[in-house]
Structure 1
């Protein structure tokens, strides 16, 4: 039940970012991830904004693992560099990955680029290195390093 509430809160936060912004977006991506050499592939849905005003943005995302099965929740602050059709950006955030009995709590940075293909769509690619704190039912047992490579499309409102 708590995972469902967390998913709804994050999506609500992302939709709130969409509603209060001049550059809101919603989209999906294919994510290739490696955590300490273990490959994880997922489909991710996201919502947010590249511009709240003041030169920063935010997004929330929910990922569903396809190989193996897992759930991921995350939120990021985005720092766009410039404006126009080709928009590089950086940022930082956090996420949680639930993989069976294992839980990974991550702090991450990101670097990406968005290319606006039309007035209402954009293609993006990004790299997301993450430092995880791993735990299971018996407690915290260590750290792990992971990296995500994301390719996706955003619908710009």
Structure 2
């Protein structure tokens, strides 16, 4: 999948499936819970920051596990502890990983500095990372609510 229309459609369809299509600013931890409830992921793991210092999140399609660094998970839903920039980045990070899930990407995908060397080598990974970024944008700012 690479067309913008297809990716926007996938983002909209997931919003509908999760019952959040009318929400201007969906709560991303709730999105993760709903992914599990719908069987799209087996589970999610909140990883202590010191155990995942170089990445904010990753998705393992083989185990259907979503790993989210603790500070990223907390920032995605906190209004008082984290800055606006940190909250936006955390929400985008989670939406990006949700994109890998929704688009059926295979393998283990990282969101952070660990991904950079692999992305330079493998064109498929670059394409899927680009698709996940486009999905995240469409998921967080859908055209029908703009």
Length-normalised TM-score, structure 2: 0.29
Structure whose residues are more often strand by fraction: 1
Rg comparison, structure with higher value? 1
Question: Does 1 or 2 have the higher relative contact order (CA < 8 Å, sep 6+)?
Answer: 2
